[in-house]
Amino acid sequence: MSIIKAEYIWIDGHKPTSKLRSKTKIIEGSISSLEDIPEWGFDGSSTMQAEGSNSDCLLKPVCFIPDPIRNSDNILVMNEVRNPDGSVHESNTRAALKELAEKFSDHEPWFGIEQEYTFFVGRSPLGWPEGGYPAPQGPFYCGVGADEVFGRDIVEDHMDACVRAGIGISGINAEVMPGQWEFQVGPLGALEVSDQLWLSRWILYRIAEDYGVNATLHPKPVKGDWNGAGAHTNFSTKSMRENGGMKVIEDACEKLGKNHEDHISVYGAHNEERLTGLHETCSIHEFRYGVSDRGASIRIPMATANAGHGYLEDRRPAANMDPYEVCASLIKTVCA
Ligand code: ADP
Ligand code: MN
Ligand code: MN
Ligand code: MN
């Protein structure tokens, strides 16, 4: 009989942006499928998910991966939050995506999400002079050298951990603002990319903790002439990836333009601080799409335009967005 440490991870009811929570359950035995992992509960009154007088919420395991930090047979378990009677809790955005993903599965939607984030120590981004500013932006993006990039040891640890855990991480890069980085997850189906993005965020926070560093997803962590942090969401359906896909992509862009406000409403809090029209963004009040245009709401990559098929990049989602909601809104607008 082996002892397994199962880290149950869930999304809380914090507003306007939910936070990750987790706690450990010791399980005796062996775990080979989701059915082997018991449901569990927590005190919802401490996570903005229940009143103190009726505080129990249910954790329903939805996927699990090897724990890349504790290693051995230990696991990380992603959960949906349910009410005590098993119904969907109001903070649970995954259940709705699951329904949509199943309904439109014949479109075979794929997502690749570019997660940008910023390291902080105390009140300053990592590597910034105490209470001051570094040199203006320019040399830092994809930079190398101790004067250009800050926190690479954490970033490498995080990437290794994601690979060990079987997360579909597809790359990393240093970002335009010093102390800011990006990793990409995908391309994967809607539920897979979303579960894995939440899990990889948890792994990032957990690893940075050991370095005494805090990773934040705030879309505009430093006001002024500094790039914000986004979560560009690359999206395609089967017909976009096939011959003649360019026309399907353009039709999708037209539909996205007609539903701009609906999308912005789930693309992350404080996104108006980031989508100003400066720093490689399009204003939050406008919608534009174009080939290779990093100042547009939607960019059609050059390789897609050249091939005549491929995918589109929605540049509007903020770093702190909920991928369950973003993927759901894209499927709803484009596939329905
Ligand atoms: P950028 O040039 O915008 O920085 P990245 O290389 O960071 O682009 O991210 C591109 C993302 O697009 C990757 O996560 C990749 O997995 C994803 N991607 C590639 N092909 C597709 C596709 N057909 N559908 C959806 N996403 C895709
Ligand atoms: Mn990128
Ligand atoms: Mn980027
Ligand atoms: Mn991008």
Q: Assess whether the C-beta atom of 114 lies below 6 angstroms from ligand 1.
A: yes
User: What pLDDT sits at residue 53?
Assistant: 79
pLDDT (average), residues 105-111: 98
Domain map of the chain by residue range? Answer: 3-91, 101-335
CA-closest candidate to residue 166, choices 234, 78, 66: 66
**Ligand 1 nearest-atom number relative to CA 173:** 7
Residue to substitute in 234, 237, 304 for testing ligand 1 pocket (most ligand atoms within 8 angstroms of CB): 234
Pick 3-91's CATH classification: 3.10.20.70, 1.10.3730.10, 3.30.70.580, 1.10.10.10.
3.10.20.70
pLDDT (average), residues 69-78: 96
Which position has the higher pLDDT, 98 or 139? 98
Q: What is the DSSP code (8-state) at residue 235?
A: E
Which two tokens mark 146? Answer: 């101790």
Length of the chain: 336
User: What pLDDT sits at residue 139?
Assistant: 85
**How many angstroms does the Cα of residue 176 sit away from the middle of ligand 4?**
12
**Ligand 1 nearest-atom number relative to CA 299:** 3
**How many angstroms does the Cα of residue 231 sit away from the middle of ligand 3?**
8
**Ligand 1 nearest-atom number relative to CA 240:** 23
Q: Which CATH superfamily is domain 101-335 in?
A: Glutamine synthetase/guanido kinase, catalytic domain (3.30.590.10)
Q: Number of C-alpha atoms within 13 angstroms, CB side, residue 141? A: 8
> In terms of C-beta density within 10 A (0-12 exposed, 13-18 middle, 19 or more buried), how is residue 139 classed?
middle
Q: Assess whether the C-beta atom of 8 lies below 6 angstroms from ligand 1.
A: no
**How many angstroms does the Cα of residue 80 sit away from the middle of ligand 2?**
29
pLDDT-derived band of residue 52, with 50, 70 and 90 as boundaries? confident
Ligand found nearest the CA of 317: 4
pLDDT digits (tens, 9 = 90+) for 196-250: 999 999 999 999 999 999 999 999 999 999 999 999 999 999 999 999 999 999 9
**How many angstroms does the Cα of residue 112 sit away from the middle of ligand 1?**
5
CA-closest candidate to residue 23, choices 40, 37, 36, 1: 40
User: What pLDDT sits at residue 102?
Assistant: 98
pTM of the model: 0.97
Residue 55 has pLDDT above 90, yes or no: no
Same CATH topology for 3-91 and 101-335?
no
User: What pLDDT sits at residue 12?
Assistant: 97
Q: Assess whether the C-beta atom of 170 lies below 6 angstroms from ligand 1.
A: yes
pLDDT (average), residues 46-70: 93
Q: Assess whether the C-beta atom of 311 lies below 6 angstroms from ligand 1.
A: yes
The pLDDT > 70 percentage for the chain reads 100
**How many angstroms does the Cα of residue 232 sit away from the middle of ligand 4?**
5
pLDDT digits (tens, 9 = 90+) for 266-303: 999 999 999 999 989 999 999 999 999 999 999 999 99
Residue to substitute in 114, 167, 304, 330 for testing ligand 1 pocket (most ligand atoms within 8 angstroms of CB): 114
User: What pLDDT sits at residue 199?
Assistant: 98
